[in-house]
Amino acid sequence: AEAEALCGVASQAR
Amino acid sequence: VTGGSSAVPGQWPWQVSIVYDGTHVCGGSLVSKKWVLSAAHCFPREHHKDMYEVRLGAHQLDSFVPKAEARSVAQVLVHISYQQEGSQGDIALLQLSNPVTFSRYIRPICLPAANASFPNGLQCTVTGWGHVAPSVSLQAPRPLQQLEVPLISRETCNCLYNIDAKPSEPHSIQQDMVCAGYVKGGKDACQGDSGGPLSCPVGGLWYLAGIVSWGDACGAPNRPGVYTLTSSYASWIHYHVAELEPRVVPQTQESQPDIHLCRSHLALSSAPARGLLG
């Protein structure tokens, strides 16, 4: 679950 | 991707390249440390899984950098309902030979739950290293391409695909498909993007709303891109990968009717007296 909790986030802002 | 632009390194960290016998053939999306989602049509039955490699954290396909990783494929699960191009079930799960380490350039995208609904017109993004026009390859060093595309409802997409439809090539947008793109054409996914993500932003997170599946040419008018609707397969994915938890997508925006996008719909409704045939 720890891995999935980080989903959908890209550290590089547009 | 036709009509797109180069992404910034790390901007789509779930995007992977699927390489067959040393050549990029499809895109894919990282959904956990060991699993990637792609399209079933990227894995013909006669191809052996040992001939595939998955590249993660890549930006330019022609320059391998330390932050990128490669894995071989331990298992390919193709959905049983996939028969041929345009049929249902164009989805595949790939198990990596070894888990990856998440980093700034390698991260998973969220899987939408079965009841997820993304509103018509939502601006999503399709990414990939595919052709930039029908049979025109992306030029070296092949940076990842990105394109913002609005979602189009199934009803409207069916209506569009019926404009100038060739009887020999019936197209129907099935229950497990979603469309995205532009009625006037020019901006779309293309060959080599298949299997890659249609990423949609909701509540500050990116969700894998669709998987690049098919289209009529690339960027043709009245022919938006057609994507496998990932949420239709939430239970299939959970059945095979128990640790993968689909996420409930918060309902933030009402879905507006978009049938007005389809010109032939207007023609029909504006001239009922002349008994126009459908």
Q: Would residue B194 show up in a list of annotated catalytic residues for this protein? A: yes
**Weakest mean pLDDT among B101-110, B141-150, B213-222, B250-259:** B250-259
DSSP E strands in chain B: the ranges are: 5-6, 15-20, 23-30, 35-38, 52-56, 69-78, 92-96, 123-128, 145-152, 177-180, 197-202, 205-214, 225-229
CA distance B116 to chain A (A): 15
B107 touches chain A (CB under 8 A): yes
So what's the pLDDT on residue B265?
Answer: 62
Indicate the residue of A3, A4, A12 with minimum beta-carbon distance to B10. A12
- Which has the higher per-residue pLDDT, B109 or B275? B109
Rounded to two decimals, the ipTM of the complex is 0.83
First to last CA, chain B: 33
pLDDT at A14 over 60: no
- Which has the higher per-residue pLDDT, B168 or B177? B177
Best CA proximity match to B138, nearest among B5, B14, B271: B5
In chain B, residues with a C-beta closer than 8 Å to the C-beta of A6 are 102, 107-108
- What percent of chain B has pLDDT above 90? 83
Contact between B96 and B73 under an 8 Å Cβ cutoff? The reply is: yes
The three-state secondary structure class of B269 is: helix
Q: Tokens representing B3?
A: 């009509």
pLDDT in tens, B87-143: 999 999 999 999 999 999 999 999 999 999 999 999 999 999 999 999 999 999 999
In chain B, residues with a C-beta closer than 8 Å to the C-beta of A14 are 8, 11
